[in-house]
């Protein structure tokens, strides 16, 4: 669906990021999460947003292109 929407937009709409849940109080990214995000942000020039929704907090990260960086922020 995302590729279809991108094509329909004349390749102007872009992917903002991704989210998922972890069954833990204070969610933290797994090595699988980080590998996936590196793949997603590779060759991107705009920041990408990543959220992990936990039981009582939300982890927020930002990926920037192939020089991936993340900002860990727990939001209660």
Q: State pLDDT tens for residues 2-59.
A: 778 778 888 877 777 889 999 999 898 999 998 888 888 887 778 888 999 999 888 9
Q: Is residue 64 scored above 60 in pLDDT?
A: yes
N- to C-terminal Cα separation, the chain = 32
Instruction: Identify the pLDDT of residue 72.
Output: 60
| Domain map (residue ranges) of the chain | 16-75
pTM here is 0.72
- DSSP secondary structure code for residue 70 in this structure: -
Asked whether the predicted pLDDT for residue 76 surpasses 80, the reply is no
């Amino acid at each position: 669906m995302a590729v279809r929407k991108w094509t329909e937009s004349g390749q102007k709409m872009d992917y903002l990021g991704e989210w998922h849940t972890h069954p833990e109080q204070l969610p933290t990214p797994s090595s699988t999460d980080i590998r996936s995000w590196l793949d997603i942000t590779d060759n991107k020039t705009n920041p990408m947003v990543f959220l992990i929704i936990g039981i009582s907090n939300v982890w927020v990260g930002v990926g920037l292109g192939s020089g991936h960086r993340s900002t860990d922020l727990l939001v209660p």
